[in-house]
Structure 1
Amino acid sequence: MTGAILLAAAVAALLQSRGPMVPTTRAVRSDLEQHLVVSGRVRVVTRVRFATPLAGRVVAVGAVEGQRVVPGDVLVQLDDAEARAEVAQAEAGVAQAAARVEQLRQVGAVVTSQAMREAEADLVRAEAELARVERLVEAGAATRASLEEARRQAELARARQRAADAQQTAAMPAGADTRLVLGALVESQGRLAAARARLAQMQVVAAEPGIILARLVEPGDAVSAGATLVEMAADGETELVIEPDERNLAWVRLGQRALAAADAFPQTVFDAEVSYIAPAVDPARGSVEVRLRVDEPPDILRPDMTVSVDLTVASNTDVVTLPADAVRGAATATPWVFVVEGGRLARRDVRVGIRGEGSVEIVSGIAPGTEVVLMDGPGLIEGQRVRPRPEVP
């Protein structure tokens, strides 16, 4: 029993003389990526607000928040009874004006042609009578008074012929009567178009596809002209807006690719690309606004959703790397590591490069294969004897 105790004590003393056991790893060559993960929100570039230019009373609301709509969907219906009556009245006015045009075309030509023929016949008779009286006066068989009367009758016939000619011209397509009735027709058609436009304004209709964001009225509500009734996010360009700390601004650049996922649907990962970097930093928060374009947004995205954006800000291939917890003072200007040389700890200053997930690039200071001590609490000092305990990477 005493011998066993002595043996155990001797072994313990030997181990103590060789120092404590410390976990170690070896520097290796590998590819490394540095990521910047930032939370943000979905922003819809095209946000449409629907309003009506007319005041009225809401009778139906077809818009439902979160619902997808397509062009032609009726979002809000106002009371249109009065507008429909105006359309009916205007349609009747157009029909009456059109009937007058047709009547002028069919009847006017017949009446004016007959009057023209009668006036021309009267003129021929009056001129023939004037010629006969003139011959009689020359022969001394008629008085000067009869000649004057014949001349007066001929002049009256000419006047009637000119009037009939003017009436016939007026009844033709370019005439004054035609212009009058056609003008009345055009005016009534204008009133009809205005009435139909007013009737159409009683409906708020989606002009493009999108998703309803807000329904701001209910049936029975009285709305004023210009009031917003519905808000919609139109299909089109979708953006993600993030605000990384200004200290990370150097890592962000236009055209940079990223992966993103909505917090509500973390399994759905989609691509994004940096499209805008604000020219100024928010002094209150010390952050900068960055926008990322989403060319193919998944259907699950909704405006103002919270998203996580993973930017690959740097990548290097075939570089010397160490686990992050092997580098001491990594956040300072003089990072360093403990290496094991001849069973003792030796400090080596290193220069670090990019930082990946759990790994750090070592630009200089140690070579691949160097055995490095992992963080294991305080108490280790340079020159101390230690016993390496390699950790499985």
Structure 2
Amino acid sequence: MALPGFLNKRWLIPVFVLAGFILLSGLIFSSALFGPRLEVFTLQRGELVQTVVASGRVATPARVDIGTQITGRVAAVPVKEGQTVRAGDLLIELAAADEKAALELAQANIRQAEARLRQLQQLTQPTSEQVLVQAQANLINVEKQYQRTRELVTQGFVGKSQLDESQRALDVARSQLKSAQFQLQSSKPDGSDYQLAVAGLQQAKANLAAAQAKLEHTRITAVVDGVLIARDVERGDIVQPGKILMVLSPAGISQLVVQIDEKNLRYIRMGQPAFGVTDAYPGQKFPVQVAYINPGVDAQRGSVNVKLNVLKSPLFLTQDMTVSVEIEVARSRDALSLNVEAIRDASTLHPWVMAVVDGRAVRRPVTIGIRGDKSVEITSGLNPHDVVLPATNMTIEAGQRVRPVVTKNPQS
């Protein structure tokens, strides 16, 4: 049945206003009596992982700076930056005309010294032996002649002048014998002439070795297998010792060098497993392991230098790439955790939360264990069924009535 017209028009708006007033009053009364409706976090139980994240770059344990030991003009550079080389491969070749001439001269001096030694062995020594034999025979004859002359002088058959002449001949024969003996001794292996010849040969060989070394210095080769990561030399350049011409990254274990915030130093230990990821390939993680922790702290940065070995190097990993590492420092299979947004004064020694107990806000001190990305482990201070207000809600004070509304609890 239709309502009278005055009810449809005149009284409709006041009725709705009255109904809205009654509803609003109920809400205000309910809020004043039971407290405001606020979202809260609940505790979760499950696996929780704590990680330390840091950034750095790719580096090898040692890099090889390539340079020259002599001054010279570059004749050829047969390799390019980024090229993989083997130990012994030619990297830089210098002009070597002077060095080759010096080598030929040293080789000629070797041949001359060897000929001098052969001459002593094959000619001088045998000749000296024959001269000694002749000198010995001559001395015997002269001594016999001297004895006969002496007897004749005694018998008065010859004058004293002939005896003097025989004496002089005897002295000469004796001198010749001594000279022959000295000559023979000098030509033997322990003699002075022989030793001089040996020393001359040794000096010539040393000069040859020096010339060969200097010639070898004109060919700069790779000392180990690796990749050329820098090149600063071109054909025609005049190079000299002390300048780095190339940088070689040796093949083998690559490392990630990162800076860890000193507040996380207590979590890092040798041999810890971790994962690395490059900015260029963010979706491709690779395993790494902590290999070195610097004993000192960088005072300006407030960080510690840490190196991690790459256990399985991906093909795209190259020198000086920017990388990030995620080091797992703690893991709990059955942790009682709470959203990190509920923790107040988390960085101090006395963290606490504002829990809701029997409809009222209650301040609770808590003990924190493992810290995940979005949740932290609560080791004491709360029960599994407690609910906690967000730390961002600063208007609620302890003892105030609250009506909790459970919200989603994101976990790490």
Does structure 1 residue 298 correspond to structure 2 residue 313?
Answer: yes
Does structure 1 residue 168 correspond to structure 2 residue 217?
Answer: no
1:238, 1:295 within 8 Å by CA — same for their partners in 2?
Answer: yes
Partner of 2:245: 229
Where does 1:42-61 land on structure 2 (aligned, <5 Å)? 42-61=58-77
Does structure 1 residue 383 correspond to structure 2 residue 395?
Answer: no
Does structure 1 residue 123 correspond to structure 2 residue 139?
Answer: yes
Give the % identical residues.
30
Unaligned runs of 5+ in 1: 3-8
* In 2: Cα distance, 1:177 partner to 1:389 partner: 106
- Alignment match of 2:324 (pick from 308, 324, 327): 308
Partner of 1:219: 235
- CA 24–390 in structure 1, closer or farther in 2 if over 3 Å, else same: farther
Give the letter aligned to residue 255 of structure 1: M
1:46, 1:236 within 8 Å by CA — same for their partners in 2?
Answer: no
* In 2: Cα distance, 1:113 partner to 1:387 partner: 123
Where does 1:28-47 land on structure 2 (aligned, <5 Å)? 28-47=44-63
Tell me the secondary structure at the aligned position of residue 272 of structure 1.
Answer: strand
Does structure 1 residue 269 correspond to structure 2 residue 269?
Answer: no
* In 2: Cα distance, 1:375 partner to 1:162 partner: 115
* In 2: Cα distance, 1:99 partner to 1:212 partner: 48
- Structure 1 residues 338-373: Cα deviation after superposition (integer angstroms, max 9, x where no partner): 5475xx565453525132132222233431133557
Partner of 2:364: 349
TM-score between the two structures when normalised by the length of structure 2: 0.78
- CA 57–147 in structure 1, closer or farther in 2 if over 3 Å, else same: same
- Structure 1 residues 46-104: Cα deviation after superposition (integer angstroms, max 9, x where no partner): 23222212111111124432333332122211111221121112112101211221122
Tell me the secondary structure at the aligned position of residue 228 of structure 1.
Answer: coil
- CA 46–348 in structure 1, closer or farther in 2 if over 3 Å, else same: same
* In 2: Cα distance, 1:196 partner to 1:306 partner: 45
Q: CA RMSD in A?
A: 3.7
* In 2: Cα distance, 1:210 partner to 1:289 partner: 29
- CA 146–256 in structure 1, closer or farther in 2 if over 3 Å, else same: closer
Aligned length: 380
* In 2: Cα distance, 1:109 partner to 1:389 partner: 112
Partner of 1:260: 275
Where does 1:58-207 land on structure 2 (aligned, <5 Å)? 58-207=74-223
* In 1: Cα distance, 2:182 partner to 2:265 partner: 89
Partner of 2:9: none
* In 2: Cα distance, 1:185 partner to 1:85 partner: 19
* In 1: Cα distance, 2:178 partner to 2:212 partner: 46
- CA 151–379 in structure 1, closer or farther in 2 if over 3 Å, else same: closer
Tell me the secondary structure at the aligned position of residue 383 of structure 2.
Answer: coil
- Superposed displacement of residue 206, structure 1: 2.1
- CA 28–175 in structure 1, closer or farther in 2 if over 3 Å, else same: same
- CA 391–259 in structure 1, closer or farther in 2 if over 3 Å, else same: closer
- Structure 1 residues 21-54: Cα deviation after superposition (integer angstroms, max 9, x where no partner): 8776642333422222121223434232222121
Unaligned runs of 5+ in 2: 3-18
- CA 209–106 in structure 1, closer or farther in 2 if over 3 Å, else same: same
TM-score between the two structures when normalised by the length of structure 1: 0.81
- Superposed displacement of residue 388, structure 1: 5.5
1:63, 1:230 within 8 Å by CA — same for their partners in 2?
Answer: no
1:58, 1:219 within 8 Å by CA — same for their partners in 2?
Answer: yes
Partner of 2:6: none
